[in-house]
Amino acid sequence: MVLTTLAQAFAVLLAPAAAHANPGVPQPDTPCSSTLANVMTRPPDQQMTLVCQQQANEDYRWTIVTSDYPSSDRWLTYGPEMTLRGEGTRNYDLRSGDWIALPQDPDSQCIEEQITVVGPGVVSSPRVKAGEAGQQLSFRVLPNLFSITMKGYCLWSKVGP
């Protein structure tokens, strides 16, 4: 009994601390960091798009994007997956080109899954690329992208034009 209790206590002491938990879900009219200025995100229901914007009082807050077809070169995922449309669709959310994903804490892993249009009404099998925990992920979004699913607590940014 004593050995079991000591073993359990020792296991708790050796377990990694959850010092870098994923952030809360961004909500309309809640604060965001100035480092996320003009970054877009979507809550899990994917029913609206939010953008981190500077307010009149100099604070930054998540606000609802009023455009019918929001598009950005910078997106934030905060854990759950987020699916965006590419230039292989009529109303795309992001442009093709070189992108990077930066984990927002040392334990985060950025994962992307792309599906491309290969012909009229035909899409490819998913292509997945995953970075190591805490490491930048570099990848290319193809011009005929149908959709991309991004996952992890990561900042996704287009590189160059």
Q: What is the pLDDT along the chain (161 residues), one digit of tens a residue?
A: 444 333 343 333 333 333 445 467 899 999 999 999 999 999 887 689 999 999 998 899 999 999 888 899 999 999 889 999 999 998 899 999 999 999 999 999 999 999 999 999 999 999 999 999 999 999 999 999 999 999 999 999 999 87
Residue 5 domain-assigned (yes or no): no
Domain that holds residue 143: 25-158
Residue 133 domain-assigned (yes or no): yes
Strand partners, 148: 84, 114
Task: Extract long-range pairs of 41-45: CB within 8 Å, 24+ residues apart.
Answer: 41/75, 41/76, 41/77, 41/78, 41/82, 42/82, 44/80
Residue 88 domain-assigned (yes or no): yes
Residue 3 domain-assigned (yes or no): no
d(CA 143, CA 91): 13
Structurally, how many domains does the chain consist of? 1
